Structure 1
Amino acid sequence: MSDLGNKKVMSDNIQYYLNKNGITRKKLSADLDISYSTLSSWLQADSYPRIDKIEMMANYFGVSKADLVENHEKEIVTNYFSKKPRMIPLIGTIAMGVPITAEQNIEKYIPEYMMDKYADDTLFALRCKGDSMYPLIPNGAIATIKQQPDVEDGEIAAVLINGEATLKKILHVGKTVVLRPANPEYKDIILDKDHPGTILGKMIKYEVNFD
């Protein structure tokens, strides 16, 4: 396997165990005293951790070093389809003043796999519209969202603005929240007291070509 391939496998495995254990990048960075920029470099497959750091993360996650350095894609896919799916609400139009998963907001229910660590009432899905997040997220993709009131910098959030839900990267600048599109042809959206918006939750993943 090429050096780039090794970095990608390591990146995927670290992210897998973060997701599986419900641990944020910030918490892992703090708990292991690893700089956030270094950890981000590993997760972006830009660099590869030293053996002592691999051993440290393996002990932290309660796995072997092989679990972090070897390609487990086939095993993960097999486990993915062996579990019974959960049905989560796909949100259509959003009625103002009611909870996001209220019946009047729900278009239908769709199957979701490998979400056992999340409570039943914390997940919903949105259909992505437009190309403001292209090429990161294509138009028509279905995004799975975990309800929570805030997200970390660089994460993608579902944000409610004037009754419309939009997906954007989040940046915090003082008390101001910046919503950043992935498509450079679109401008940032600034949330402040004069331009309010509500973070509905964090995007966990997305899928395309959903029927």
Structure 2
Amino acid sequence: MERHERIAKAIAASGKKKGEIATACGVANSAVTQWISGESKSLRPENLYALAKATGFRAEWLAIGEGPEKESSEESNVIRIAQPAMYRYPVISWVSAGSWEEAVQPYPDGFSDRYEMSDYDSKGPAFWLEVKGDSMTAPTGTSVPEGMMILVDTEADVKPGKLVIAKLPASNEATFKKLVEDGGIRYLKPLNPAYKMVELDKDCRIIGVAVRMTGKL
């Protein structure tokens, strides 16, 4: 069951109208409609816990579908520690990332058949990429080796020092590099010193900023 389906079920079971849910969560009626339809890809922690309180369903179940839907009677006297909200983002290919700005809509139908969770609440549409090659593998300091997963926020602040996803005019795929600036000129710098920097000219597009990194053992 998708998150929006769980939310719709919880609201229907509560017997409350959308307006009542919106008031309880401190949002507009349209926001509740988007939660139910799945149009909204994120749900702020404060809204999630308010929704859980208003419907009687567990916040963890509403967010990621884990555990029972509601607290059992035996657990009613147990104080639970609040868990962070989780957000679901698609895992896409480097070619899809390279053509991101050309898409008619952020998440077109069939865009991805794989999704991963994160506690990061993105500023705009976001997606996961699996790192390829060793250009971002550094001998010391920050290193992002092949196989790591990076979460890219397409509306995060872009500034020197950030790890960014960019599209070079000579390639149909996106590239992953560190954005640096020297003498007023910006460059894409690999973390691996064996690779050369590339000047960020007018034909190069910054698609997003890497905001999370995770890997599998």
Normalising by the residue count of structure 2, what TM-score does the alignment of the two structures yield? 0.50
More helix by share: 1
Q: Deviations over 1:61-108 (max 9, x none)?
A: xxxxxxxxxxxxxxxxx86xx345321011213274326844378333
- Find the aligned partners of 1:100 and 1:130 in 2 and give their Cα distance: 29
Q: Is the counterpart of residue 142 in structure 1 residue 124 in structure 2? A: no
Aligned match of 2:210: 203
Q: Is the counterpart of residue 179 in structure 1 residue 188 in structure 2? A: yes
Structure with the greater alpha carbon radius of gyration = 2
Q: Deviations over 1:4-34 (max 9, x none)?
A: xxxxxxxxxxxxxxxxxxxxxxxxxxxxxxx
Aligned match of 1:51: none
Aligned match of 2:119: 114
- Find the aligned partners of 1:99 and 1:204 in 2 and give their Cα distance: 24
Normalising by the residue count of structure 1, what TM-score does the alignment of the two structures yield? 0.51
Higher mean alpha-carbon deviation, 96-105 vs 163-172, is at 96-105
Counterpart amino acid of residue 153 in structure 2: K
Q: Is the 8 A contact 2:160 2:179 kept in 1?
A: yes
- Find the aligned partners of 1:181 and 1:105 in 2 and give their Cα distance: 32
Identical-residue share of aligned pairs (%): 25
Q: Which runs of 5+ in 2 are unaligned?
A: 1-80
Q: Is the 8 A contact 1:158 1:202 kept in 2?
A: yes
Q: Secondary structure at the match of 1:103?
A: coil
Q: Which runs of 5+ in 1 are unaligned?
A: 1-77
Counterpart amino acid of residue 98 in structure 1: A
- Find the aligned partners of 2:173 and 2:179 in 1 and give their Cα distance: 17
Q: Secondary structure at the match of 2:112?
A: strand
Q: Is the 8 A contact 2:116 2:128 kept in 1?
A: no
Aligned match of 1:103: 108
